[in-house]
Structure formats: C-alpha cells, structure tokens
Amino acid sequence: MPAPRLLDQVRECIRVKHYSLRTQDAYLHWIRRFILFNGKRHPREMGGTEVEAFLSHLATAGRVAPSTQNQALSALLFLYREVLKLELPWLDGVVRAKRSLHVPVVLTENEVRALLARLDGTKWLAASLLYSAGMRLLEGLRLRVKDVDFERREITVRDGKGAKDRRTMLSERLLEPLRTHLAKVRELHAQDLADGFGLEGVIRRHHLDEKIVQRAVSAAGRAAGISKPVSPHVLRHSFATHLLCAGYDIRTVQELLGHSDVTTTMIYTHVLNKGGRGVTSPLDRLQQ
C-alpha cells in the first residue's frame, strides 16, 4: 500500500490532536502556500532557510498582519515537528510583520442599544449574547445547552480542544429569552426525531449560520444610522471597552475574553484614551 500523501498525513495528525476544523483548514492552506512558494519541493528537502524566506516574504511582499504571519509559522512548525518529526532551527532571520496601529472599532452604549433594537428573534439573541458575554461569533453559535448555567449566571465557552475553555457571565436580561429559545429548540428536536431526521437533521435545519448573523448585524447597524463599520466582532470589542470604562480591571477583562496574553487586551486601553491622553479638562470637571 502506498504511503499517504503529505497533506493527508497532516489532516490525520490534526484530527488525532483534536484541533478544530478551522485550524485544519488554516494549516493546510499555509503548508500548500509554503510548498508552492518553493517550487513544489517536498518539505523534507527543505528546512529553516526556506521557512525563514517564506515567512519574511509574507511580511515584506505580502504585508500580512503579525497574527497571520504567526499562524503561518505555527502551521509550518506543526508540519515539521508533528508530521515529519524534524526540528527546525531558531528562526532568527525572519523579517517580522509590523503590528497594525489601528485601534478596534467600538460602539457607544447608545449605539449598541440602537443596534439591538433593530434585531429580533434568534438574531437578536445571538447578538445580545456576543455583546453581553464578549464571545466570538462562532463561540456564540456553537454554544451548547450544557454550557449555560442559569443558576450561577455563567456561560462556559469551549475552545474545541479543552485547553483554553473559559467562563464568562450570563446577563440577567437574557435568562428568560434564552430559556424560551431552548424550549423551542427542544420542541423542534422532538419533532425532528418523530419525523425521522435525527440529530444531524436538527443541526442542518435549525442551526443559525454565521453569515446570516453577520448580514443581520451589519444591516441593523445601517438601519440604526451608525456610521462605523458594524460586525458581530465589533460587539466583542464593545463588551471589553465598556467593562474597562465601568472600572473593571484589565486582568478580569483578559480572562473573560480568553486572551492568553494581557498585551492583547491592552489594545482596549487605547480606545479609552480621549484627547490629551485621556485627561479630562479642568473646565469639564467644573461642569460635572
């Protein structure tokens, strides 16, 4: 029997380690790009020199973000260490991608209120969960019943591998809407089982697609007259910023967002700065 092709070996190794489907797709993408960049040579014939050249090319010619370059690096390290069982040398010669100076788009509390007022049903519930709990879109859409603790007012957010699961809050305002939604889901599930669809049918027929939520949130932003670009991820940015504005410490916000490094969370402190480095004018203080 012929040996499996390289990319098939990568897929199998990723599945054994229980990485997410998105991670699998990303790793395969970068490994293909690396191979094509080097004239379709097999990675066994290459090493640190070729990896450094490829990553530097992404930063200089491709002008990718640091996170994108790091993802490509992770993919190639996985390929060499986990699949080919080869160690790469220290990649000191890599030209690092420059970190963007852009701060994230953040809505004001009034803008969030206006946005949510123009959504209804499951789209309103999905957007409200993202804003109230600081979840990413797919984290909210993949939320399971067992991960919602109504008694403790708590949500467990799964990362797919169990290594970075985190807990965040469940808003009081969402208790009843969420209970009502779950009751409807159970009813639909029971009906599907009676009709012979089974669990797979429930997922296909009743799962809310991410693109539907993205379009709904964007349309609601336009309807609310918000001039900023609005997306589900902007709700996560707004969650973090509004907590910091309310006086919560950055370590707490870091844990709620699931950031492994507090420097990632620090971007929201830049959003808080206004005018002269966040200092309030003495005249404004007199008027407060």
Cα(127)–Cα(213) distance, integer angstroms: 8
Active site residues: 136, 161, 233, 236, 259, 268
Cα(135)–Cα(141) distance, integer angstroms: 10
157 beta partners: 166
Q: How far is CA 123 from CA 61, 114, 156, 181, 246, in A?
A: 40, 14, 21, 11, 27
Instruction: Report which of 261, 257, 277, 260 is spatially closest to residue 269, judged by C-alpha positions.
Output: 277
Find the distance separating the first CA and the last CA of the chain, reported in whole Å. Answer: 79
Task: Tell me the two tokens of residue 98.
Answer: 């420059």
Grouping H, G, I as helix, E, B as strand and the rest as coil, residue 61 is: coil
DSSP string over 184-207: HHHHHHHHHHHHT-HHHHHHHHHP
The one-letter code for the residue type at 16 is V
Angle between helices 6-16 and 66-78 (to 10 degrees): 100
Grouping H, G, I as helix, E, B as strand and the rest as coil, residue 155 is: strand
- Going edge to edge, which strands form the sheet with 166-169? 148-149, 154-157, 166-169
